[in-house]
Amino acid sequence: MLCSKSFATTQIEKDCIDLDHNCADWVSQEPSQCSTTDYIARSCKKSCGVCIKFSKRFDIRRLPESLRLLSWLVGIWRSEHDGKVTFPTIPKFTYGEQIEISIPDDELTATKALNYSANAWSINDQEELHTESGFITIKPGTNHVALNTVMSNGFVTIEEGEATYNHLKLRLIDIGRISFSRDLPVHDVVREWTLLDSTTLEARLDMETLTHRMQEHTFIRYKKIYP
């Protein structure tokens, strides 16, 4: 049996918000500002972690310096039914999806990378449509980002591109596929993630195949559900 939250707990969660959309950037770049800068202490309660306790995998104060440019991506993002798929070779349909982007363990000594996973489902019967997982990293001293993923359709991809503090655009660099995949050979992919506000993330993916020119394949807007 699930217990309902108390009024006090609910009120704390409602009050635990970031009042400035720059909070994640400020806190990830210099966590000490939560205690040394009055405006940040008052306006960035969620990013500073002073009013709630959440998993260290999503605590942006732990971000390695090399990954701070991507602090705005950290979290769990979900869209129940707003995803749209279109391509000449398939019927148009809508879908739901959840993506998770988290911070690696402190003990890891390899190249620092954010953990990435995505799971999409049919809104009609909740059947799984697609899953992928991988890592997001940045070339030290630059804003050059690389995303490598393994997908449930038998594809393995490497995408690279440039990032700012609210936008990431990646282009396909290399792709591998299992020998018996039924999907058309993919020639090119452009993926874009844009932070519209502190709780809304927009994702767009354009694709070119052996038989069709580059065009939009998927579009979705997520809401941040954690932390």
- CATH top-level class of 57-226: mainly beta
**What pLDDT, in 10s, does the model give residues 174-188?**
999 999 887 778 899
Mean predicted confidence (pLDDT) in 100-117: 87
Half-sphere exposure of 131 (CA within 13 A, CB side): 6
Q: Which two tokens stand for residue 183?
A: 């999907």
Which helix (H) or strand (E) is 19 found in, with range? none
Whether 10 has a pLDDT exceeding 50, the answer reads no
Q: What beta strand segments (E) does the chain contain?
A: 75-87, 90-102, 114-122, 128-138, 144-151, 155-163, 167-177, 186-197, 200-209, 215-226
**What pLDDT, in 10s, does the model give residues 48-94?**
888 767 788 999 989 999 999 999 999 999 999 999 999 999 999 99
**What pLDDT, in 10s, does the model give residues 157-209?**
999 999 999 999 999 999 999 998 877 788 999 999 999 998 999 999 999 99
CA 18 from chain centre, in angstroms, equals 19
Whether 12 has a pLDDT exceeding 80, the answer reads no
Alpha-carbon gap, residue 32 to 89, rounded angstroms: 53
Is 209 in contact with 37 (CB distance < 8 Å)?
Answer: no
**What pLDDT, in 10s, does the model give residues 82-99?**
999 999 999 999 999 999
Q: Which two tokens stand for residue 139?
A: 């070339």
Mean predicted confidence (pLDDT) in 145-151: 98
Alpha-carbon gap, residue 160 to 221, rounded angstroms: 22
- In percent, the amount of the chain with pLDDT more than 70 equals 92
Q: Is 89 helix (H, G, I), strand (E, B) or coil?
A: coil
Which helix (H) or strand (E) is 5 found in, with range? none
